[in-house]
Amino acid sequence: MNDEWANLLRESRANPKLPLTATRNAFCGLADLGLLRVCGDDAGIFLQGQSTCDVAALKPGESRPGAFCNAKGRVIANFNMIRQGECYYLVLPADLAETIRKHLRIFVLRSKVSIENLTPRRGFIGLFGAGVTLPEGSVSDQSGNVLTMPVGQLAERTLIAAETATARRIWQYLQSSPDYVPVSPSAWRLKNIEEGLPGGTRATSEEFLPQMLNLDLLGGISYRKGCYTGQEVVARTHFLGHLKRRMFRLRTFGDREPGPGDPLYQGDVAEGQRIGLVVTAAPESEQAFQLLAVLPLDRTRSTSLRLFRPDGPAVEFLTMPYTFDVP
């Protein structure tokens, strides 16, 4: 994590009344994201052999989701990747950035690849709206000084990752501009949830297959590419139809905000049975929260769900922006 950037955002959030939801031309600072840069003659080939997505098909300036898995096919971390020149930039959870860097280093061997964790030197800003206007002199370049990445399937948001000093200038520009409105960083998570985009932290690392996070529905898994770590399990699950869990969008009410790794229980049985885990959550009002959670496909619509404990707050299902079959 970039402590300097996190401190700046804490000072900027002195007003606790920042809106929890965002409209076009809103912006927020994000301190929970990390950034890896993978460069070198073999960078594309190397990442193709380690990630679930088709890196070879990624053109300069394009972005797509994906994941790194362990040998059992479980997601260590999911990411959004963008290619600039001959380098690949991966946005992923800050608390997993160094873990992934070390994980990838194991497989470099003789490949001509460098892997840098830029997280301690980068600030992140989320912009709501398709158009991006940066202050003069802060332009996207192949050095990665300012990185802009479209977010979401409709690309109606933009993530900016910049060196801390540059991020500070952009932040000050946005704060002083009458064209932009500051919102809570939870508004970014809420929009991710509404778009069915999985988050991820150390709390849920190595818990789920990538299909359980709906990455196959988001273009984050290729079944036609060659081998990668965990590929055998991921492919077998797809081709033999063994997927038993998926990620659902939910809402709950109460005083306590859910978080990654919180359990969900089947509340209509005497003892209560834990059947799911929260992937990410965000407030939509003072006592209402939306969340994404992985649940079994055969016990969802007809199941009474409770959060935190068998007699905890009730949970209701919300519509996802994409479809999948539920028995």
Q: Which of 4-18, 63-77, 298-312 has the lowest mean pLDDT?
A: 4-18
Q: Could you tell me which residues come within 8 angstroms of residue 12 by beta carbon, excluding any fewer than 6 positions away?
A: 29, 171, 175, 182
**Identical topology for domains 3-194 and 245-327:** no
Phi/psi for 294 (5° steps) reads -90, 125
For the chain, helix (H) and strand (E) counts, in that order, are 6, 16
DSSP bridge partners of 245: 296
Q: How confident is the model at residue 145 (pLDDT cuts 50, 70, 90)?
A: confident
Residue 171 scores a pLDDT above 60: yes
The two structure tokens encoding residue 83: 């290619």
Distance between CA atoms of residues 178 and 191, nearest Å: 23
C-alpha distance from residue 7 to each of 4, 20, 189 (Å): 5, 20, 20
The fold of the 245-327 domain, in CATH, is Elongation Factor Tu (Ef-tu); domain 3 (2.40.30)
User: Residues 15-43: what's their mean pLDDT?
Assistant: 85
User: Any idea what the Cα angle at residue 230 is, between residues 229 and 236, rounded to 5°?
Assistant: 140
pLDDT at res. 267 = 78
pLDDT per position as a tens digit, 65-93: 999 999 999 999 999 999 988 899 999 99
The two structure tokens encoding residue 81: 């990747």
pLDDT at res. 25 = 83
Asked if 149 and 63 touch (Cβ cutoff 8 Å), the reply is: yes
pLDDT at res. 133 = 64
pLDDT at res. 139 = 45
Distance between CA atoms of residues 139 and 148, nearest Å: 9
pLDDT per position as a tens digit, 269-302: 667 788 999 999 999 998 999 999 999 998 766 6
Share of the chain above pLDDT 70, in %: 90
Phi/psi for 271 (5° steps) reads -85, -20
Residue 179 scores a pLDDT above 60: yes
Chain mean pLDDT for the chain: 89
The two structure tokens encoding residue 275: 């059947």
Please spell the DSSP secondary structure of 76-142, one letter per residue. Answer: EEEEEEEEETTEEEEEEEHHHHHHHHHHHHTTTTT---EEEE-GGGEEEEEEESS---PPTT----T
Which residue from 189, 168, 322, 306 is spatially nearest to 246, judged by alpha carbons?
Answer: 322
pLDDT per position as a tens digit, 235-270: 999 999 889 999 999 999 999 999 999 999 987 666
CATH of domain 3-194: 3.30.1360.120
Residue 14 scores a pLDDT above 50: no
Distance between CA atoms of residues 17 and 108, nearest Å: 47
The pTM (predicted TM-score) of the whole model is 0.93
Question: Where do the structural domains in the chain lie, given as residue ranges?
Answer: 3-194, 245-327
pLDDT at res. 296 = 93
Residue 134 scores a pLDDT above 70: no
Greater pLDDT, 7 or 90: 90
pLDDT at res. 92 = 97
Residue 144 scores a pLDDT above 70: no
pLDDT at res. 136 = 58
Of 95-99, 135-139, 183-187, 197-201, give the range with the top mean pLDDT. 95-99
Q: How confident is the model at residue 130 (pLDDT cuts 50, 70, 90)?
A: low
